[in-house]
Structures are given as C-alpha cells and as structure tokens.
Amino acid sequence: KLEAVIFDLDGVIVDTASFHYECWKRIADEQGVPLDPSVNERVKGVDRRTSLDIVLERASRSYAEEEKAALARRKNELYVERIERLTPEALLPGIEAFLRDVKSRGLKTAIASASRNARLVVERLGVGAYFDAIVDAGSVAKGKPDPEIFFAAAEALGVPYRNCAAIEDAEAGIAAIRAAGMFAVGVGTEARMRGADWLLPGTEMLSLDELSDRFAG
C-alpha cells in the first residue's frame, strides 16, 4: 500500500539545473576549460564534487585536491547567490497542488536530494511545511545512483521501502529508486527515464489517483 512519496528536488520541485549550469560554466570559463552543454544532463542528480570532476574532464592539466575543493566552494558561492533569490513562483507546474493532495490523504512526504542546499531551496520556495523529512547529500555516504539516500528518506519517515514511491528527473535518480526497490516515477523523456515504472512528460501531469492506481496495479 502506498504510504509515502519521496521527491527529488532539482528537476521535480524546482528547475535549478540552469543555475547549476551557469555556475559551472563560469568556473569552466575562468579555468579555460571547454564546457559542452551536454554536461547539463550528466551533472543532474550528481553531487557537487562528482559534478566538478565531470566539468574538469577536458582540462589540459590536473588539479590538486585543495584546488578542487576551492573550485567547488566557489561554484557553491555563485549558486547560493542565485537560489537566495528564488521565490514560490519558481515551483514547477502542478507540484504544490500534488503536495496538497498527498498530505490531505495522510501520506508521508520526504525530499531526497543530492543538493546540500536542499533546505535553503525548500525554504525559499515556501514549501517546507509539506515535508516530513529532508535528506540531502550531507546525511549519506554514497550518492545517487546508490539507493542509500532513498532508504534514508524511508527510514526518516518510518515507512517500509516497499510502500514508497519516489519521483526523479535524472537517470542516476531513477537507478537509485529502482535499486531501493521502490516504485519509480520519472519526469522527462522516455530515452532518459528508462526503467521508470511510470513516465510523465512533466510535473503538471502528476496525479495522486493515478499514482495510487499504478502503484497498486
């Protein structure tokens, strides 16, 4: 029985991917590293340090650990400047109505995000009250596609993993949900969301009735 819905943040609740890209682009430009827009897809759902390694793949020299730490820090400063300005208008279509439905039917909700800025983003969007738990990269050892973050979210809610559905927009995220043995809702194109139990082109298509039917089916 469906008892809880776990949400990814970037790409499901809000589209902060363009902010991440702008900031990585700035870092790459400053370092004289060519950056292909395809990294946009590859850094989705992937934690900050792993994202930096992807950004630096085409660098002509190698970077020491401290240098990498400084670049990751600088990228985050640029990113935080942007998310400080987020408002509830940035919520993706249909999300708030869906959250209201989920809560009014007594289901539990959590966020499972690779972003260490998840709390700040949720606060800026004004949706903190809808969530019973927020689990981010800071509270788990292994990032997506490892299932750990989804297990941690289920545990925080006190709901068995089998009774959870989770929503993701990234390949690494869908893989993590499946590895956790949960029902996977994918938002995006069929090509990218292979493996999703229910595929939706956009968040405006989310419906709790349909999710409940498919979950039971």
Which residues make up each annotated binding site?
8-10, 24, 43-48, 51, 75, 113-117, 144, 168-169
Q: Helix, strand, coil % (nearest 5) of the chain?
A: 50, 15, 35
With binding defined as CB under 5 A, does residue 171 bind Mg ion?
A: no
108 binds, among Mg ion, ligand B16, none (CB under 5 to 8 A by kind): none
Q: Is 15 a catalytic residue?
A: no
**Which residues are within 8 A (CB) of 72 and not within 5 positions of it... i.e. 6 or more apart?**
48, 49, 52
Q: Is 209 a catalytic residue?
A: no
Which of positions 129-148 make contact with ligand B16 (CB under 6 A)?
A: 137
With binding defined as CB under 6 A, does residue 166 bind ligand B16?
A: no
With binding defined as CB under 5 A, does residue 45 bind Mg ion?
A: yes
DSSP, res 79: H
Residue 157 CA to residue 163 CA, distance in Å, equals 11
Burial class (CB in 10 A: 0-12, 13-18, 19+), 144: buried
With binding defined as CB under 6 A, does residue 35 bind ligand B16?
A: no
Segment lying near ligand B16 (by CB under 6 A), choices 43-51, 102-110, 174-182, 193-201? 43-51
